[in-house]
Structure 1
Amino acid sequence: MVRDDQPMQRFDSVGCDLVVGTAVRATIICHERWGVMAEVLGHETVGASVDAGVIDSPSGAPRALPEEYPPVGEQVDAVVQEISRYHPPVWIRLTMRAADLHEFSWPCGCCGQLTILSPGGDGVTVDVRSSEGPGCASFAAHRSCLAGRLNPDFKGDRARVNAVGRDQPTPSAIGNESS
């Protein structure tokens, strides 16, 4: 195997602390016919957008009308709906629907049923990366679906899937890792 002495450039690490279901504040930077462009506070180097279909419409339309978009320059509450790290540039799609701000759900990549990705929910985001090069594919899963698909001998991995993001369990709750 030929190895280069140069470290691999991984664009997919940009915004790596953002996870689907995370509540964020964003500034609206411009209006488009399909929705708005935004800048996530603290993640200004990552592109972000909100489609009109995930902006509540006071008129009751299925998609917010351009005149219902938040004004340019306004800071809004949003939830990370999707993160694209497969090809550069990293891009975040946000939702501003009130229902999503309260509780954000997304289909489980294992069973297809909705899983709650908001804090306290039953879902996790799984990032798939390779040591061969940059790019990251992600999917949401119920903790139970993901843990249930792991090798039964990997008790520690199963326990970590069920614990990640929650109060960290004691080593005895994870299982005997040395065996």
Structure 2
Amino acid sequence: MERFETESLALMPGQRVRANVLSHHPWGVLVEIVGYENARGHARLSASVDMIEQFSRTTSSHDELLALFPPVGSQIDAVIEQVRRWHPPVSVRLSIRPADLESLVRACDFCGERVTVAPGGDALVLDSRSNDGPGSHTVIAHRNCLAERIRPENTGERARAWEIGKMC
């Protein structure tokens, strides 16, 4: 991984994507996100859908759960739940839950309350990096939780936290 791998920075929680199903596994499916294949057609990052985590509580049998697995070779709609950039390759966790496809909701990393991480929602997605080396970490926060934690005398940054991403 380069000092700061930048290509995957275009991917963030709440973003809708299309993905090709590559293989089935006991826990879920491996996929490649359309547009993130290399010149040879191979994935440049690791992406998956954890079917057990997403659907095991809503299905009554293992066979019912297996029936929800999208077929290998199919293309699916998904929403990005999480992007991990700790070490190569970048790892992306996708959701195909119908509710998440409509509007991804997660806990704010500051207050723990639910926040909508989708267009029109009130979440900000922060990508933190260190000058000491590669990797980064994503933090999801209510706009208010971030803005209120910025020093009051830092009015410019506080104002930007309130306005970033809002339609003019």
* TM-score bin (small chain): 0.7 to 0.9
**Structure having the higher Rg:** 1
Identity of aligned residues (%): 41
- 2:10 is aligned to 17
CA RMSD of aligned residues (A): 2.1
8 Å Cα contact 1:54/1:95 also seen in 2: no
8 Å Cα contact 2:105/2:114 also seen in 1: yes
Q: Are 2:165 and 1:165 aligned?
A: yes
Q: Runs of 4 or more off by more than 3 Å in structure 1?
A: 53-57, 59-64
- 1:123 is aligned to 123
- 2:69 is aligned to 69
Distance 1:118 1:62 in 2: 32
SS of residue matched to 2:159: helix
Q: TM-score normalized by structure 2? A: 0.87
- 1:29 is aligned to 22
1:66 Cα deviation (Å)?
Answer: 2.2
- 2:46 is aligned to 47
Distance 2:68 2:116 in 1: 28
Q: Structure 2 counterpart of 1:108, which letter? A: C
Distance 1:23 1:91 in 2: 16
Q: Structure 2 counterpart of 1:46, which letter? A: L
Query: Which shifted more, 100-109 or 8-17?
Result: 8-17
Output one character per residue of 1:3-37: Cα deviation in whole Å (capped at 9) or x when no partner.
xxxxx932532311011110111111110010000
8 Å Cα contact 2:55/2:65 also seen in 1: no
- 2:59 is aligned to 60
Distance 1:10 1:167, change over 3 A: same
1:68 Cα deviation (Å)?
Answer: 2.2
Distance 2:90 2:79 in 1: 16
Q: Structure 2 counterpart of 1:53, which letter? A: I
- 1:176 is aligned to none
Output one character per residue of 1:78-133: Cα deviation in whole Å (capped at 9) or x when no partner.
00000001122100000000000011011111001111001000101111111221
Tell me: higher relative CO, structure 1 or 2? Use CA pairs within 8 A at least 6 residues apart.
Answer: 2
Distance 1:112 1:122, change over 3 A: same
Unaligned runs of 5+ in 2: 38-43
